[in-house]
């Protein structure tokens, strides 16, 4: 490891601890990641962005702290946060083993079933707006999941995707048709504490046998959202994790058939960010319902 002077100085200012070495970390298409070696022998991960959207890193830090409030999934502590960076402990990755996946499933169940309130009452949403990837994400509280999901998760990104030419008018119309049926399709449940962007890239298998979650887009929502995103993009030993989850906190019958409903949101986000065939895929899924 060498030492990037500007990165090290910024980290030292925030951590009040000498940084003896830095090393770039591969991966990520939004932020630059750097491993920091501190004078006490520990390591940390520093994420930076030259021109982040307002409140980008504070939103991520808020989500990590919110997830860590309860005895559930393991989220790294926030060591420091500033407008242009976030620092968390370094997680040494290890083997992806079935037993760790099962414990992750049970931990996620505990997170989802923990008590959660927004602005002092049982509502969907969050105290603050946030981001999903690099896109703004509204979290205005609502007592209705179908209303929240339609107005703050599906329709905003459908509009952006349409404006960017990432979904055809015909496919957009197919997605819109499901909106009026959400109340009939999705079972009523209390709000759950969600990671909000729970795909395999945000799941780290620690060398200590613990599965950690990073980069949340946290809010109180329907718990099938996290399950749907995990199944959309896959995860090692996913079935083992889902079986353990369902044993700890049984999902409402028919949840497998409803996964596509809550996959519309991440598919439309991907259509906005990457184009490709994500818009058409969202329409294909919506057409099933």
List residues with catalytic annotation. 197
Q: Dihedral (C-alpha) 215, 219, 222, 228: value to the nearest 10 degrees?
A: -10
Residue 107 is classified by DSSP as H
Beta strands 85-89; 135-137: pairing state: unpaired
Alpha-carbon dihedral sign for residues 87, 6, 34, 84: positive
Q: What is d(CA 282, CA 175) in angstroms, rounded to the nearest whole number?
A: 7
Q: For residue 37, list its beta bridge partners.
A: 21, 43
In this structure, what token pair is assigned to residue 194? Answer: 């969600």
For residue 212, which phi and psi values (nearest 5 degrees)?
-105, 155
DSSP 93: B
């Amino acid at each position: 490891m060498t030492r990037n002077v500007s990165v090290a100085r910024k980290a030292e200012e925030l951590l009040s601890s000498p940084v003896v070495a830095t090393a770039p970390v591969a991966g990520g298409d939004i932020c630059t990641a750097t491993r920091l070696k501190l004078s006490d022998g520990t390591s940390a991960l520093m994420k930076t962005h030259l021109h982040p959207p307002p409140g980008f890193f504070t939103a991520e830090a808020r989500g990590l702290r919110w997830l860590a409030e309860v005895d559930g999934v393991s989220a790294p502590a926030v060591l420091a946060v500033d407008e242009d960076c976030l620092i968390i402990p370094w997680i040494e990755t290890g083997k992806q083993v079935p037993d760790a996946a099962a414990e992750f499933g049970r931990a996620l169940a505990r997170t989802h079933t923990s008590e959660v309130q927004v602005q002092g009452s049982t509502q969907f949403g969050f105290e603050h707006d946030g981001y999903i990837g690099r896109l703004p994400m509204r979290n205005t509280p609502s007592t209705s999941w179908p209303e929240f999901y339609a107005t703050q998760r599906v329709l905003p990104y459908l509009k952006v995707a349409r404006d960017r030419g990432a979904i055809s008018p015909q496919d957009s119309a197919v997605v819109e048709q499901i909106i009026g049926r959400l109340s009939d399709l999705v079972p009523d449940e209390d709000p759950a504490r969600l990671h909000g962007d729970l795909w395999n890239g945000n799941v780290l298998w620690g060398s200590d046998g613990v599965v950690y979650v990073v980069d949340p887009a946290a809010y109180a929502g329907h718990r099938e959202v996290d399950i749907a995103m995990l199944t959309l993009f896959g995860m090692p030993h996913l079935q083992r994790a889902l079986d353990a989850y369902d044993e700890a906190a049984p999902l409402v019958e028919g949840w497998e058939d409803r996964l596509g409903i809550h996959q519309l949101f991440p598919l439309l986000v991907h259509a906005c960010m990457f184009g490709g065939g994500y818009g058409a895929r969202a329409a294909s899924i919506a057409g099933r319902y």
